[in-house]
Every structure is written in structure tokens, then in C-alpha cells.
A and B are shown apart, each in its own frame.
Chain A
């Protein structure tokens, strides 16, 4: 039962990990992209569209090519979220629009766009339920190692996921190393801390902001893809993605802008997100009714607030947000 809980917690945590890693990369450049929920949503629906087109182009769905079934949705997802990242970068970096307003607009836009295409696809299929199922594609995305189920709890906790889950962890580790160890990562952090300094040091501030925001968006978009194809078994229904995008942004604060912490953090968040379903199993002697469960659902947010409070009180310089976060940079400004 505990193994099953951890398994579900990790499944819940992976989209958050993608979202948080993407947002950390973005925020390190000083761009506070509050559009991440929209970006992840668009990432998901783009993957769904890709998968839908591929599945429908096949005469016999059982003949689906595994490579294409994965690559097409994935490329569509990356492209969709890249476009969202580009829109955000263009508005905030080139036109120097307010980052908060732009981010919120991107979220509204992304969710609307996703629901529009989601609704259209459901209509095209003419399904009885308001959802669209891409079971063929999902099969490839959620395929885990064949012997995982023979290894008991070990297999269930560590080996029972689709490849995107492992990709999320690899991306988080690579990002962490990139930020900490490489010269380019140093430059990126400088851009987020103090763009005027970075500029004076000969770093192309605009390029760093664009690239990190776009790459960050693509990473976050994969979270949306993972959610539909693996977690939800290929079933897209509008608004099912819920508040996971906001949770990913909360996770960024929770992990004090460190992608390697985000790996553990995402699992904790994932666990907190679903723990209300398990309370009655874990503690059968304490009855928990529906309304209490709703209260428990807010645990990740409460913890994020607590982390913010503790961090602000400790005032350790290394655990503060990038100093220029949310500010536009213009060289000739004075």
C-alpha cells in the first residue's frame, strides 16, 4: 500500500517536475513566466493533436510504429510550447511588457487554446463522453520495463514508469549541473541577478533571456504531454489538467530555485496532492470525510507559503529569487 502510494505520488509529481524545471530555467534569466500553466496546457494539447493525426493516418492502429508514435506527439508538444515561450519572450524582452500581466495572459490564452482544440477534436470524433482517447500512443508512452512488475515493491517504486518520467529526472539533474558548473550557466544566472552587469561583461542579455525562456517553456510543455499520455492513459478531457501548472510554480519557490531539489520536491508535492485519497487507508481509525479531504488538498500551497516565510526570515542570500526577477532590462534606461 505504501509502495502504491509512492508510485502514485511520483506519477503526480512528474508533470510538476517538468513544469518546475522549466520555470527555474526561465526565472534564472530574470523572466517570471506566470504563463507556465498555459504553456503546459498547450504542450499537452499539441501532443494530443500530433498523436490524433498520426493515429488517424493509420489504416490499422495495431500497426503503429513505436518510434513515430512517440516522436510525432513529442515534436508537436515541443513546437507548441516553444511558440508560447516565443510569444512571452517577444512581449517581455523585446517589447518590455509587464511580465506578470503577460504571464497571466499567456495562461488564459493557453488554457483557452487547449480547450478550443480539445473541444474540436472531441466533436470530430463524436464521442459519447466529453473526452478523446489516444490509447495507441499512450501505450508507447507509458510502456515500462517488462520485468518491473516481477520485482515487487522495488519495481513498483523505481521501474514502473514511462520513459518521460526518467527524462524529467535527467533534465532536472542536467539543468542543475548546467546552472552550477558551466560557464554558460554562470552567465545565465548573472543575467537573472543583474542584467546590467551581465551586459557590461559582454553577455548578450536578450539572447540568454530568449533562449532560456523558450527552452524552459519546452521543458514545461513536456509536463503537459506526460500528463495526458502517461498519467491519464491518453485520455484528454478539457480542464482535467487542473491546477498543476500553478503547483509547478509553487514548487519553484519550494525548492528555492534548485532543479535537483525539485526532484524530491515534486514527489513530496505529488504525495501531498493525493494524500487525501489515502488517509482512510493509512489511518482507518480516523474517519476523514469529503470536506476535510478538500482542506488537505491545499497542503502543497500551505507548505509553499511556509517555505516563503522561512526563507524570507533566514535571508540567506543564496536562497532568494534571482534579484532582477520580473524586471525588464533596457540598456539605455536611466
Chain B
């Protein structure tokens, strides 16, 4: 065991996309054996790009990579495997219609792996060793997100990886699943493996890592021992300036009823009940949080309110128009009618470009998608969207060469800023934001929280679907918890604890979710 030679050394790595966007600039860093290194940085700071070069997805423009002290040329993912480097991508690299075994066997030589039986046995061995649990014969499309991630890790270990890179592994996990993952990572560390973890959740960084390396705008800023770091010090390093880290929660006295949902039942595309008899009210001047494991019906709930999802008979969603003093039924109305009433949906799906934005259009054209119907003459108004795009770009610090650059070319976090910025700018009465900060760095996240609070102060009802329970508890006035499509309770955000919400998220006796014990 040579503890002195780093497992991986990066020296002067530079990578640019096109001529304008420099993703990494002269990055040099080391990863030791038996170490968990957290890689931290704002959105678009080049963390994923840097790791993609290690795993062979991208090729650096200049610079050298050393593995165990030897210079290596990683030109394809296969090269990376041969060097013992494995990456768990943010979007899982699994084939849905294959079984776990088939996914593990993919790209491998039958001579070295043997048949399905041998692979299944090897999977069982790895599971025993590190405490995983997967069924080799299960099809991936039947797996939960956490199972898919487990399979990814097993696949990587099966290929003999000694250096594991995890790109935002906890983004889609419940707190319990995250704890389980961390236990496994500690086992692997004890086994002498090197682990690089990319995450935006600073409390997790502090909990799991030994050392933190920080990137800012593609450059390596420095590293600190986790034991000497705090949330505040890491944030300041990441952003390069002092950041206010308190989420405010003003109490608004005047809270008129704006939206009430009663007995809402929706089916998903397979004809299974995605929402089962859900009833709640949303008030102006209040942020209502929606908590739940991903896929518990959040999507259907918001889409039903926005008019995108068909509701079953007996459901009712009413909107109280205070100015007119009328109450209107939303079910049966078209998407644009609902939008005109001032109910806006800013939904950030897992696939950010899938809904709400057109990837090949620039920021200003995407702004126009909301307003093209306005105006009295037949020509579209291009100036207003352009001004709005400029405003969003400046206010949310969107990194883009130009407001007309196709949004597809922006990094994930920046795409999200465009989407959220546009919805908030439309000044809605009811603003629904789902996963608005998913994948966003801490600085931008706080900007979004501030914007949501501004809406709240204006008297809008904000419905916020979030994943980070700490944030939900700090930001929301009330939290509605969904579990398997049922509303499992509405709690007061000021008094509830994280554990109570976590329990409500997972605990309905007849639910099909696996036992989290």
C-alpha cells in the first residue's frame, strides 16, 4: 500500500466547448487512495466536465492525467475502465429493457465474465461485501431510482473500479436512501477505493467527505480538509464572496384563499392511480411545500392544476379570483385559459429541456413562448422578450455567451435559471415551482428562494415541490406530504422536524414502497 502516490493526478487540464465556453481551465488536483473527495462548485463551474474527462466521455484539450503515477491517455470509456476508473452519471447509464445481469454484462467479453449464472453470482458477492441489495433478474424499468443507482455502483465495481466518481448521487434519493448510500461509500473507502463525489448539498459534503476540492468558473480554487470546513466557509470559497445563508420566512397576515383542490384523483399513463383523493387549500401570501419521494404524484398534482393532466370524475380544483370576487372551476379549462387566470407552472422535470423550454431556441425566443399571443398586431413583439431575457440573465447570473444562444448548449443549472426566471417574471397569482433548485448550486438556489419569497410577499400563493427537506422546512409555511399518491398529512413548516416529514413520506402501511429499515 503506497499511500504517497495519488491514485489520480490531474495536471493543467483545459477543456473548451467551441471557442467561447471554457469549461475547465488549467486544473491541477490529486485524489488519494482510500479517500472520499467532494468536488464542489457552482453550476457550470466544470465539475462534471472534469470528471467526464477522467471517465473517457470527453477528451481534454491540453493537460496530463496520471493514474498511480503513470501518465495515461484516456480516449474512451473503455480506457477508463481498464484503468479502474468508473463513473456513476447523474443520468443513469442503464438500458431499461435489460435485466440487472444484462446491464452488468454489457460491453464485456463473455470469456472473462462467463454466462448469466456466473455474473449473477459475482453480483451477489459484491452485494454481500458492501451491503447492497439487488435482484439480478429484475428489469431496470421496474426498479426504483435508488435501486438503479445501486445497480450502477455494482456494475462499476464489477468492472474492477478502484476509483469511483459519483455525479450528484443523492439528488434523487430520500434521506434514508442517502444514509444507506453513505454507509456503502464508507465501506468502499475502508476497502482502499478512492471516491470522488459531486454534490451541491453541503451538509452531505461535511458528513461524508475527507477533503473538499473547489472549482469556480472552471478553475481550481483550492482544497480543504473537511474537518476544518463549515457550510459558510465552503460557500464563500465556492462563490468567491460572502453569501447570506439564511432563508427568510416572513409571516404574511392577510392570507386569502386562492386555490382549493378537493378529492383530486388522476391516473398515470399506465392507468394506475397516481393521485388518490387529494384535497388541500392554497392561500395567498403563503408558500405551500409539497414533499414526497419522487414519483409520489407531485407531477400529476401540478399538471392537473395547470390543466395538463386529466382528472378523474369527482375531482374539483377551484380558483378564487379575488378581484372579480368569483370562484371558478379549473377542471375542464384549457391550459391557456388557466394561464390567463394567473396560475403559472414552472416545472423543472428531470429532463430540463423536456418541458417548458425549446432546446434549439435562444433565451429570448424561449421567453417569447409565454407572450407570443399578446399584442394587437399580427407581428410578434420581439423587444419585450428580449428585455426580459436580458433581465433574467443579469438577475440570475445565467452563464451564456449571448441571449440568442440555443439553451440546449447551456449547462443544466443555467437552463433551469432561464425556466424559473421566466415563470416568475410572468407575475402569477398562483406560482407552482417543482424542483426549482434541482441541480442548482447553493448561491443560485438562494436567489430562487428569495424570488419565491418576493412572490409570496406580493400576495401570490406559491406551491413549491422540493426534494431537500431542510429547505422545505426552512422555506415553507405549510408542507403537504404525499406518499404513493395519497396526501399523508399537512404539517406546519415552523414546528415540524425533518424526521417527521421523512416518516410521512415513506409510511403508509399498504404502500408498495420497500421497507426502509
Knowing that A186-B98, A199-B57, A200-B57 touch, tell me 4 more A-B residue pairs with CB under 8 angstroms: A193-B97, A194-B96, A197-B93, A317-B97
Is residue A243 contacting chain B, with contact meaning CB distance below 8 A? no
8 Å CB interface, A160-207 against B? 183, 186-187, 189-190, 193-194, 196-203
Q: How far is the CB of B47 from chain A (nearest CB, A)?
A: 14
B95 touches A189 (CB 8 A): yes
Is residue A332 contacting chain B, with contact meaning CB distance below 8 A? yes
Which of A196, A203, A315 contacts B107 (CB under 8 A)? A203
**Nearest residue, chain A, Cβ from B78:** A202
In the complex, per-residue mask of B87-113: 1 if CB is within 8 Å of any chain A CB, else 0: 101000111111000100111111000
A331: chain B residues at CB < 8 Å are: 57-58
B97 touches A187 (CB 8 A): no
With A202-B78, A315-B269, A317-B141 as given contacts, are A186 and B106 in contact (CB-CB < 8 Å)?
A: yes
Complex Cα gap A187–B96 (Å): 14
Interface of A is mostly: helix
With A190-B98, A194-B95, A202-B76 as given contacts, are A332 and B269 in contact (CB-CB < 8 Å)?
A: no
Interface of B is mostly: loop
8 Å CB interface, A214-249 against B? none
Complex Cα gap A201–B107 (Å): 5
Is residue B139 contacting chain A, with contact meaning CB distance below 8 A? yes
B95 touches A190 (CB 8 A): yes
B95 touches A197 (CB 8 A): yes
**Nearest residue, chain B, Cβ from A197:** B93
A186: chain B residues at CB < 8 Å are: 98, 102, 105-106
**Nearest residue, chain B, Cβ from A202:** B78
**Nearest residue, chain A, Cβ from B115:** A183
**Nearest residue, chain B, Cβ from A332:** B58
With A183-B105, A332-B58 as given contacts, are A200 and B96 in contact (CB-CB < 8 Å)?
A: no
In the complex, per-residue mask of B7-30: 1 if CB is within 8 Å of any chain A CB, else 0: 000000000010000000000000
Which of B93, B98, B141 contacts A196 (CB under 8 A)? B93
B106: chain A residues at CB < 8 Å are: 186-187, 190, 197-198, 201, 203
Is residue B435 contacting chain A, with contact meaning CB distance below 8 A? no
Is residue B220 contacting chain A, with contact meaning CB distance below 8 A? no
8 A-B pairs whose Cβ atoms sit less than 8 Å apart in the complex: A183-B105, A186-B98, A197-B95, A200-B89, A200-B93, A201-B108, A318-B97, A334-B408
In the complex, per-residue mask of B270-309: 1 if CB is within 8 Å of any chain A CB, else 0: 1000000000000000000000000000000000000000
We find that the number of chain A residues with CB closer than 8 angstroms to chain B is 23
Complex Cα gap A200–B141 (Å): 19
B96 touches A317 (CB 8 A): yes
**Nearest residue, chain B, Cβ from A313:** B271
Is residue B81 contacting chain A, with contact meaning CB distance below 8 A? yes
Is residue B192 contacting chain A, with contact meaning CB distance below 8 A? no
Complex Cα gap A189–B58 (Å): 24
In the complex, per-residue mask of A309-329: 1 if CB is within 8 Å of any chain B CB, else 0: 000000101101001000000
Complex Cα gap A27–B58 (Å): 27
Q: How far is the CB of B473 from chain A (nearest CB, A)?
A: 34
Is residue B77 contacting chain A, with contact meaning CB distance below 8 A? yes
B57 touches A332 (CB 8 A): yes
B108: chain A residues at CB < 8 Å are: 183, 201-202
Complex Cα gap A187–B106 (Å): 6
Determine which residue in B76, B93, B106 has the highest number of CB atoms from chain A within 10 A of its CB, and name it.
Answer: B106
Q: How far is the CB of B92 from chain A (nearest CB, A)?
A: 8
B109 touches A183 (CB 8 A): yes
B269: chain A residues at CB < 8 Å are: 315
Q: How far is the CB of B419 from chain A (nearest CB, A)?
A: 17
**Nearest residue, chain A, Cβ from B57:** A331
**Nearest residue, chain B, Cβ from A322:** B97
With A186-B106, A331-B57 as given contacts, are A202 and B95 in contact (CB-CB < 8 Å)?
A: no
Q: How far is the CB of A245 from chain B (nearest CB, A)?
A: 28
Which of A193, A202, A320 contacts B81 (CB under 8 A)? A202
A201 touches B57 (CB 8 A): no
**Nearest residue, chain A, Cβ from B81:** A202
B97: chain A residues at CB < 8 Å are: 193, 317-318, 320, 323
8 Å CB interface, B154-205 against A? none
**Nearest residue, chain B, Cβ from A192:** B95
A203: chain B residues at CB < 8 Å are: 106-107
Q: How far is the CB of A205 from chain B (nearest CB, A)?
A: 10
Q: How far is the CB of B161 from chain A (nearest CB, A)?
A: 12
B89: chain A residues at CB < 8 Å are: 200
Q: How far is the CB of B254 from chain A (nearest CB, A)?
A: 46
B93 touches A201 (CB 8 A): yes
